[in-house]
Amino acid sequence: MSHIFSGIQQLPPDALFGLKARYTADTRSEKVDLGIGAYRDENGKPWVLPSVKEADKLIHEDPNFNHEYLPIQGFASFVDAAAKVILGDESPAIKQERLVSIQTLSGTGSLHIAAKFLVKFYNQSQTVYLSKPTWANHYQVFESLGLKTASYSYWNTETKSLDIEGYLNDINNAPEGSIFLLHSCAHNPTGLDPTRDEWIKILEALKSKNHLPLFDSAYQGFASGDLANDAWAIQKGVEILETPILICQSFAKNVGMYGERIGAFHLVLPTSDNKSAILSQLQTFIRSEISNPPAYGAKIVSKILTTPSLRKQWEQDLITMSQRITSQRIALRDALVQLGTPGTWDHIVNQQGMFSFTGLTKEQVARLESKHAVYLVSSGRASVAGLNNHNVQYVAKAIDEVVRNTDTKL
């Protein structure tokens, strides 16, 4: 018997989580997961950062530890410390008190709050420009709230490098006051970031068109291993731009707190006017959706950021993760060169962060999965963190086989 919901259509599984489910269900012992962007250690296992282990211990040993609600805007010491990590201790935005910050459900929750804020309060444009390509979820985060999305040029397929000319043209051609989403470092999916000179050109172009920048910072510390370095574009934006700046910050990857959903939304304002009114609106968004944010991850991250010895350990953990990924980039490139795999492979080592945009085609990716049990996203994005000394040769041989035996050459 049909009912009022009978007409609802089945959607395909989410590209990334669907991939993860196929990987998990695969019984082949040689399988390799290069799908979801989550760090893996040398044995392919999830890694609890030493700084997190230590913070966890300290929190549980504290006799005042409890599971009470956090305030609606989040754990104050976490929110303050998070702002300093992304903007720098000496940020003029913090010193001049023209910053509004609130705790969110990781980066996606932060993007959602940013989207809600723009829908309600940004009158100049309801179109968000996204890099081509971008993280697939960006589209639905914005579109699900009624914002429109458009693309700006980013990746040049031919040269496997940044199409800076197209990028700047698209900034110039977008209607004045458009919203531009910028990956602050370790671009997902390409692993390709603008140079500092290019960033300055991008920021100046945004400024001249009065566009509103929204920085997505999901990988701070993963690109270079250095927090300040990876926040350079944002901090330069604060220096150069005169518009407000929206920043969506995730601690999923860089503290390895994936499932704890810990992040923040920051709004840098040109002046300190109206801060408290804006905060009150953001608080209402949070209250109506999740009442108040989860406490556990906030306590861990806050402990790490505010305890000097733990902060030092965390900075070391970031180096451990980023260096291991870099070494696997080199190992994969070298193995492909050694095998004489048709195509060029230097882009794998020139890219940074968690991902490599391999240039493999959809068909090649499908064959990697079906024939070799090597899983990556159909766009050809590989999570390099899934490689290690035990599987990198196997993966290189698998790539070699699919490149040689599919029609499309790289």
Is 253 a known active-site residue? Answer: yes
Closest CA to 42 of 318, 324, 253, 255: 324
- The answer to whether 135 contacts ligand LMR (rule: CB under 6 A) is yes
Active-site hit among 135, 155, 232, 345:
135
CB of 259 to ligand LMR, least distance (A): 11
| Range 322-325, long-range pairs (CB < 8 A, 24+ positions) | 322/221, 322/222, 322/223, 322/224, 322/225, 323/225, 324/41, 324/42, 324/385, 325/39, 325/222, 325/353, 325/354, 325/384, 325/385
Closer by beta carbon to ligand LMR, 37 or else 297? 37
Active-site hit among 216, 230, 317, 400:
216
Closer by beta carbon to ligand LMR, 16 or else 366? 16
Active-site hit among 253, 299, 317, 400:
253
- The answer to whether 16 contacts ligand LMR (rule: CB under 6 A) is yes
Q: Where are the alpha helices (DSSP H) in 88-173?
A: 92-95, 106-121, 137-143, 164-173
Closer by beta carbon to ligand LMR, 91 or else 356? 356
User: Which positions ≥6 away from 19 have C-beta within 8 Å?
Assistant: 35, 36, 375, 376, 377
Cβ-contact 208, 227 below 8 angstroms: no
What does the per-residue mask of binding to ligand LMR show for 27-56, with x meaning CB under 6 A? ---------xx-------------------
- Indicate the residue whose CB is closest to ligand LMR: 37
Query: Helices then strands (H, E): number in the chain?
Result: 16, 13
Handedness of CA 371, 377, 380, 383 (dihedral sign): negative
Closer by beta carbon to ligand LMR, 188 or else 217? 188
Phi-psi region of 256 (alpha: psi -120 to 50; beta: other; left: phi over 0): left
Structure tokens belonging to residue 240:
């150069």
125, 134, 184, 188: which one binds ligand LMR (CB under 6 A): 188
Q: How many residues bind ligand LMR (CB under 6 A)?
A: 6
77, 124, 127, 137: which one binds ligand LMR (CB under 6 A): 137
Is 135 a known active-site residue? Answer: yes
CB of 137 to ligand LMR, least distance (A): 6
- The answer to whether 190 contacts ligand LMR (rule: CB under 6 A) is no
What residues are annotated to the active site? 135, 216, 253
Binding site for ligand LMR (CB under 6 A): 16, 36-37, 135, 137, 188
